[in-house]
């Protein structure tokens, strides 16, 4: 008996994409934006490269091209409303830092800022970009990473008993990891 049923191709990415949602922060000389991103992955260990797929029309992509850098911020479940807000409005028309009451602090290595309310952040220099359909894969080289003290176990993995990251299942569905 065949237990499988066909899925719409449109939904196929949801079978592989339940990683934790991140907030990409990017800035130009005058403007800042914070963009919610679910489509991301590590791509190299040496050098350490991380990537995310940004729709070609995203304001964040424009700012990343200008500043050649971006910051990956890790929100926890308490920030779900902020994640939805930053994933709904564009920085072209809304000052998301101000409207979402987020604290933007300057990064140490890159032309960018991190979000103090998040549990961790990773500073990235733009390494390369790959156009892929209606998105651009933005690859960043990590220059430094910081996490709040309670986030990691002594083995250096996220302590899911203390930090609940947000996993996007698709649409308005979100989940958390459980032991």
Ligand X SMILES: Cc1cc2nc3c(=O)[nH]c(=O)nc-3n(C[C@H](O)[C@H](O)[C@H](O)COP(=O)(O)O)c2cc1C
Chain contacts with ligand X (rule: CB under 6 A): 21, 33, 35-39, 53-55, 58-60, 84, 87-92, 168
Cis status, amide bond into 47, omega within 30 of 0: yes
| Residue pair 110/69 in contact by the 8 Å Cβ criterion | yes
d(CA 159, CA 132): 34
C-beta of 31 vs 48, nearer to ligand X: 31
C-beta of 154 vs 171, nearer to ligand X: 171
What CA–CA distances, in Å, run from 84 to 64, 78, 99?
21, 12, 13
C-beta of 108 vs 128, nearer to ligand X: 128
- Cβ 34 to ligand X shortest distance, Å: 7
What is the number of the residue whose Cβ is closest to ligand X?
87
C-beta of 106 vs 170, nearer to ligand X: 170
- Cβ 54 to ligand X shortest distance, Å: 4
- Cβ 15 to ligand X shortest distance, Å: 16
d(CA 39, CA 20): 9
Q: If residue 81 lies in a helix (H) or strand (E), which one and from where to where?
A: helix 80-86
Backbone angles phi, psi at 59, to 5 degrees: -65, -35
- Cβ 5 to ligand X shortest distance, Å: 26
C-beta of 156 vs 171, nearer to ligand X: 171
Among 53, 39, 42, 28, smallest CA distance to 113 is for 28
- Cβ 132 to ligand X shortest distance, Å: 12
């Amino acid at each position: 008996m065949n237990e499988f049923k066909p899925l719409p191709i449109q939904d196929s990415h949801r079978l592989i994409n339940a990683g934790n949602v991140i907030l990409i922060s990017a800035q130009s000389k005058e403007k800042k934006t914070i963009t919610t991103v679910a489509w991301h992955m590590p791509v190299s260990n040496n050098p350490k490269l991380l990537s995310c797929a940004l729709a070609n029309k995203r304001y964040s992509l424009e700012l990343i091209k200008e500043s050649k850098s971006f910051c990956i911020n890790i929100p926890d479940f308490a920030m779900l409303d902020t994640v939805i807000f930053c994933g709904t409005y564009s920085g072209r028309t809304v000052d998301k830092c101000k409207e979402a009451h987020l604290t933007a602090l300057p990064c140490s290595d890159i032309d960018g800022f991190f979000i103090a309310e998040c549990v961790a952040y990773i500073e990235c220099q733009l390494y390369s970009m790959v156009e892929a359909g209606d998105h651009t894969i933005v690859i960043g080289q990590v220059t430094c990473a910081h996490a709040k003290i309670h986030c990691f176990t002594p083995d250096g993995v996220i302590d899911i008993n203390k930090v609940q990251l947000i996993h996007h299942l698709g649409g308005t569905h979100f989940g958390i990891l459980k032991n």
